[in-house]
Amino acid sequence: MKSKALTAIFPGTFDPITNGHIDLIARASLLFPHLIIAVAENPNKNTLFTLEKRVNLASTAVEHLLNVEVIGFNNLMANFALAHNATVIVRGVRTTNDFEYERQLAEMNRALKSDLDTIFLMPSIAMGFISSTIVKDVAYHGGDISNLVPLHVQTELLKRLA
């Protein structure tokens, strides 16, 4: 049986992209020949950065990964997957609460596009506590975020919060 080349999507808001995201993206990039980082414009979230800025920050963060592409989107994940011939969604899960939420999304995406599977990756132990929300909160209160985000993200985040 001949296997077909897979395109996978790693979706998220990435407000901002963190070292935890990058760890998962790097690991997922080893599993799939083409990985799309789908940066969501989510009107339900009050993002600190514009979609364009989040796409730019993510693009710079993963430019060393040659099979990774960053694209902004504002529609259903199932429609985005169809438009990009993707059959796999990659999601990171840190906790059982994450898993329950992600499982519901996976089931809905599969109901909308029957050949769209979701795989879950656990973060490495050193990255499991990092979230964009925590990073923003630490930065807002003057804490050191240098080990939580790439330098270019730290610079933009501190500039935005100033």
Catalytic residues: 21, 45, 94, 132
- pLDDT given at position 151: 97
CA atoms within 13 A of residue 117's CA, in its CB half-sphere:
5
Correct CATH for 7-128 of 3.40.50.620, 3.40.50.2300, 3.10.105.10, 3.40.630.30 = 3.40.50.620
Task: Give the strands of the sheet with 7-12, arranged side by side.
Answer: 68-73, 34-40, 7-12, 88-92, 117-121
Mean pLDDT over the full length of the chain: 94
Q: What three-state secondary structure class fits 112?
A: helix
pLDDT digits 0-9 by tens, 85-122: 999 999 999 888 889 999 999 999 999 999 999 999 99
Domain ranges of the chain: 7-128
